[in-house]
Amino acid sequence: MKDIADSYVTEDGRTIGKVLMDMKNITLRFGGVEAIKDISFDIREGEIRAIIGPNGAGKSSMLNVISGFYNPQVGEVWFRGEKRPPMKPYQVARQGIARTFQNIALFEGMSVLDNVMTGRLRQMQTGMFAQALWWGKAQREETENREAVEKIIDFLEIQAIRKTPVGRLPYGLKKRVELARALAAEPELLLLDEPMAGMNVEEKEDMSRYILDVNDEFGTTVALIEHDMGVVMDLSDRVVVMDYGRKIGDGTPDEVRGNQDVIDAYLGVQHD
């Protein structure tokens, strides 16, 4: 694996900064089952970091550790140079981490706009009562947040469905709305759980474009789980490969592609 200095510039001209999140010797157990076994890796500022692996490799569990939903029995999570104590999800959100879900978790009965607005909750200070009266500060605050949301709607090109209830949208668009909601929180670290699952080729291309644009335009660090190897190899700066809860590879897409353990995990090993 390449030994990287504090920060470097990629071939396409993006600056990758210092370590944003550092996972140190993480082990996660559910009863007797070890979902993650002693895994360490880091995520750097400004990079697109992928976690790949066959079904049941522990990818989603890993993402849930990063997002603070699971607390590992062994190991430490360091964020922005500080060790992170066990946290509630809302505390993690406050730290600037937002995510999307493998099985879309939107409010089906609410419009796209309202769904994306919920992503701004962290930026709103006024209480429920003031917001219900919609007077003074609450009104100003909503206007400011609406503007931020409209910019994201424009960015992801979902203007045409702004007022449509989410329940009526096709799957590919729901995924995009979920991304919009995550972006509305203006996260420093964006976690995407299988952003392309169940999409056709064209939708995948679109989604890849948006992920790259988000990373490029807002400088957001992205950590994603994905099945589609082609997409992962094209998108990411560095890839962690997991198999049966173990880390079997870590490096640039090219390094990972040439790794014998990875090839074995994906294509199977010949038994004599």
Partner 1 sequence: MTPATPEGALHSIPALLSRNVAQHGAKAAYREKEYGIWQSWTWADVAEETDALALGLLVLGAEAGDHIAIIGRNRPALYWAMIAAQKIGCVPVPLYQDAAAEEIAYALDHCGARFAIAGDQEQVDKIADARDGLTTLEHVIYLDGRGLRKYDHSAMSSYADVQDKGRASGLSAVLAERTAAQNYDSTCVMLYTSGTTGRPKGVVLSNRNVIETSKNSAEFDYLKAGDEVLAYLPMAWVGDFIFSIGQAMWTGFCVNCPESEHTMMTDLREIGPTYYFAPPRVFEGQLTSVMIRMEDAGRFKRHLFNHAMEVARRVGPDLLDGKPVGFLDRLKYRIGSLLVFGPLKNTLGLSRVRVGYTAGEAIGPEIFDFYRALGINLKQLYGQTEATVFITQQPDGEVRSDTVGVPSPGVEIKIAESGEVFYRSPGTFVEYYKNAESTASTKDAEGWVATGDAGFIEEGTGHLRIIDRAKDVGKLADGGLFAPKYVENKLKFYPNILEAVVFGAGKDRCVAFINIDLTAVGNWAERNNIAYSSYQELSQHPRVLEMIEGHVNAVNESVAEDDMLSGCQIHRFLVLHKELDADDGEMTRTRKVRRAVIGEKFDDLITALYDGSSEVYTETEVTYEDGRKGKITATLDIRDAKVFSNRKAAA
Instruction: Point out which residues pair with 42 in neighbouring strands.
Output: 22
Q: Which is nearer to partner 1, 141 or 216 (CB)?
A: 216
**82: region left, alpha or beta (phi > 0 left; psi from -120 to 50 alpha):** beta
In our burial notation (b when 16+ CB lie closer than 10 A, e otherwise), range 239-258 reads: bbbbbebbbbbbbebeebee
Q: Does 235 bind partner 1 (CB under 8 A)?
A: no
Cα 148 off chain centre by: 20
Q: Does 123 bind partner 1 (CB under 8 A)?
A: no
Q: Does 6 bind partner 1 (CB under 8 A)?
A: no
Judged by CB under 8 A, the number of residues near partner 1 is 19
> In the bound complex, what is the minimum distance in angstroms from residue 210's beta carbon to partner 1?
10
Q: Does 162 bind partner 1 (CB under 8 A)?
A: yes
In our burial notation (b when 16+ CB lie closer than 10 A, e otherwise), range 71-87 reads: ebeebebebeeeebeeb
Q: Is-contact 65 22, C-beta < 8 A?
A: no
Distance CA 154, CA 264 (A): 43
Q: Which is nearer to partner 1, 161 or 196 (CB)?
A: 161
Q: Which of 9, 13, 103, 128 touches partner 1 (CB under 8 A)?
A: 13
Q: Which is nearer to partner 1, 89 or 219 (CB)?
A: 219
Q: Does 105 bind partner 1 (CB under 8 A)?
A: no
Distance CA 91, CA 114 (A): 22
Q: Which of 38, 76, 142, 216 touches partner 1 (CB under 8 A)?
A: 216
Q: Does 159 bind partner 1 (CB under 8 A)?
A: yes
Q: Which of 28, 52, 153, 177 touches partner 1 (CB under 8 A)?
A: 153
Q: Which of 217, 267, 270, 271 touches partner 1 (CB under 8 A)?
A: 217
Distance CA 28, CA 71 (A): 8
Residue type, 217: E
Cα–Cα nearest to 181, from 111, 110, 106: 106
Give the interface segment with partner 1, choosing from 1-9, 133-141, 208-216, 245-253 (CB under 8 A): 208-216
Name residues contacting partner 1, limited to 42-101 (CB under 8 A).
Answer: none
CA distances from 151 to 106, 136, 147 (A): 20, 23, 6
Q: Does 168 bind partner 1 (CB under 8 A)?
A: no
Q: Does 157 bind partner 1 (CB under 8 A)?
A: yes
List of residues contacting partner 1 (CB under 8 A): 12-14, 113, 146-147, 150-151, 153-155, 157, 159-160, 162, 209, 213, 216-217
